[in-house]
Amino acid sequence: MCGFCGVIEPGAAAEPALRQALERMNQTLLHRGPDDGGLWLDAAAGVGLGHRRLAILDLSPLGHQPMVSPDGRYVLAYNGEIYNYQALRRAIGDDYPWRGHSDTEVLLAWLSLRGPAATLTECNGMFAFALWDRQARRLTLARDRLGEKPLYYGYNRGRFLFGSELKAITAHPGWQGELNRDALAAYLRLGYVPAPHCIYRDLRKLAPGTYATLTPGQEEPTLHTYWSARSAAEQGLAAPFKGPEAEAVGALERLLMDAVGLRMRADVPLGAFLSGGIDSSTVVALMQAQSQRPVRTFTIGFHEAGFNEAEDARRVAAHLGTDHTELYVTAQDGLATIPSLARLWDEPFADPSQIPTLLVSEMARRAVTVCLSGDGGDELFGGYSRYLWTRDTWRRIGWVPLGLRRALAAAVTGIGTGTWDRLLAPVARFLPGPLAIANPGDRVHKAIDILTGDSPQALYLRMVSHWKDPAALVIGATEPLSVLTDPARRARTMSITESMMYMDSVLYLPDDILVKLDRASMGVSLESRVPLLDHRVYEFAWSLPLAWKVRGRRGKLPLRRILARHVPPALFERPKMGFGVPLAAWLRGPLRDWAEDLLAAERLARDGILRPAPIRARWAEHLAGRRDWSYYLWDLLMFQAWLDLARASGALGARP
């Protein structure tokens, strides 16, 4: 796990200037690779590669990057892990002039002997890399199948820049950044900037399963798809698993066992995140089944009962016999991370679970260098409760004419939330536990708005959207299309649930979940690995009938059955809690002054980016306790915090 950056600027800089610029870019990635750093330059061609190394496999200097092929033709800078590198090395054989034992050297050997297309289809891993072919004067950029590792690229003022993080690109002395208002609109809907878009107008994210080629003077890179999540899903649906359900569960367990085993290879201490939920517990159970010693597991707990899973994780760890560490954090611990969020994520990013993810990564890094994570199970096996809610809701209301539903919504929202609070208070007061909500009118307004979609996909779009019309909030913006808003981008699925699972696997998973995990873990020099996102698992999951994954109100049935072979169901069969923070209360309490400064009407008007009126209205309603706008407001606060940092660093002009 590392970070890299690079530049192509033919004839524009002498070697000292090129080296100085590259060194400045590379230093911004120190957190991704504190163990070693290197530069490689071809000043005559105007090409430079930089690399920071977090040593995981072959800790010797023989793993140093950028790495040059034995014949001197190819130069590689690479971030990630190729888990099947030993098999790939055997496939090349001992006649190759091997120098060390790193996966980097194996990847470089395959690229130089077989080319990018053949190499990428054989690699099982998480990775992004830049390969310079000195003879053909060609740059190849590539990214793993499901988007675990990041890669940004683009032209700025005539030079082509690329890197693992935006801060490396914007550190180039000649960089001049311009805000991408269209990307900002997409961000305000989703809470993240979806690929291929980027918050800077000149830059893009390389899409998962894609490699790009570029020669000096070429206006835009040529994009090649070597693996498609859509094709894999459609092929799985078209060729379902042949055999009984029990046989499929057994095949999945063997596949997951192999995926976990591959990700346990490391020459440094290794552990796992453990929440006590189905996904992380399955990963840890399969790790412990293959380990001769107790697996190191890590959990953080919160004193707020609605956000604490530490006790559940502790019971799972005790049953499996892991070497378990837990840390209870306070609101002050969470709040202390907020000033670093914009710097670590580089782009506006508004998933509040970034805070506990960063805290658990910091704790784990004190003991290990690699941690396995359980991400991906919800998208692959139907685990999100919103899938069930959308499915069931559409079955109940889909037959009602759209015009009638919209008329009903207008009538309901025409009554203020305060009035609904008074009307519903006598009932809400006697409801049990989480149903005894303080502001029932707020829930009524939000629920009725969701019901006005003209299709189940439109219903789902309303459900996962934050700001419902973000282009109206961002001055001069047009929201770009995504798989949520463009039917042509969706896979041909058989059901509402599968449609939602697919949309999440190509949008929410790579652009939110995996971005959150990468930045939080790499921000503290910790490598995170995700066994459930082995591409073989993804492909196999789509071959399973939906009824084997979701039945009634329960999802992730195959994982539940596998986990039950290792852990008593009583330890994991409970409602899904999630991994969040008490954001609504924080914004009314300890974060109030910070938020007020960032959302001040005068500041918003002076910036000329966002329209102040709807923002100030929601802020006032939230402070008064009439509505819970915490997620909407967090989107804005994370953008404003990013804007401050981008201006202060010079990455963005004073008036974007």
| Distance from C-alpha of 65 to C-alpha of 84, rounded to nearest angstrom | 20
Q: Which of 210, 362, 373, 352 is nearest to 281 (CA)?
A: 373
Q: Which of 71, 599, 49, 564 is nearest to 281 (CA)?
A: 564
Q: Which of 283, 148, 285 is nearest to 208 (CA)?
A: 148
| Distance from C-alpha of 656 to C-alpha of 121, rounded to nearest angstrom | 41
Q: Which of 329, 270, 236 is nearest to 580 (CA)?
A: 329
Distance spanning both ends of the chain, measured CA to CA: 34
Q: Respond yes or no: is residue 371 known to be catalytic.
A: no
> Is 397 one of the annotated binding-site residues?
no
> Is 453 one of the annotated binding-site residues?
no
| Distance from C-alpha of 486 to C-alpha of 476, rounded to nearest angstrom | 21
Q: Which helix (H) or strand (E) segment is 222 a member of?
A: strand 222-225
> Is 448 one of the annotated binding-site residues?
no
Judge whether 489 and 195 are in contact, CB under 8 Å.
no
384 backbone φψ class: left, alpha, beta (φ>0; ψ -120 to 50)? beta
| Distance from C-alpha of 190 to C-alpha of 82, rounded to nearest angstrom | 31
| Distance from C-alpha of 102 to C-alpha of 82, rounded to nearest angstrom | 10
Residue 139 β-bridge partners: 132, 214
Residue 142 β-bridge partners: 129, 211
> Is 300 one of the annotated binding-site residues?
yes
| Distance from C-alpha of 233 to C-alpha of 538, rounded to nearest angstrom | 8
Judge whether 651 and 177 are in contact, CB under 8 Å.
yes
Q: Which of 2, 5, 198, 371 is catalytic?
A: 2
Q: At a CB cut-off of 8 Å and minimum separation 6, what does 653 contact?
A: 176, 177, 178, 647
Judge whether 274 and 324 are in contact, CB under 8 Å.
yes
| Distance from C-alpha of 471 to C-alpha of 592, rounded to nearest angstrom | 26
Q: Token pair 């784990």 is at which residue?
A: 364
Q: Which of 292, 283, 290 is nearest to 317 (CA)?
A: 283
Judge whether 56 and 81 are in contact, CB under 8 Å.
yes
Judge whether 52 and 30 are in contact, CB under 8 Å.
yes
Question: CA-based angle 159:160:162, to the nearest 5?
Answer: 135
Q: Which of 158, 194, 198 is nearest to 180 (CA)?
A: 198
Q: Token pair 């208002």 is at which residue?
A: 181
32 backbone φψ class: left, alpha, beta (φ>0; ψ -120 to 50)? alpha
Torsion angle (degrees, nearest 10) of CA 528, 534, 538, 541: -100
36 backbone φψ class: left, alpha, beta (φ>0; ψ -120 to 50)? beta
What's the chain's length in residues?
A: 656
Judge whether 498 and 237 are in contact, CB under 8 Å.
yes
* Catalytic residue positions, numbered: 2
- Which residues are documented as binding site for L-glutamine? 103
Annotated binding-site residues read 103, 300, 373-374
Which residues are annotated as part of the binding site for ATP?
A: 300, 373-374
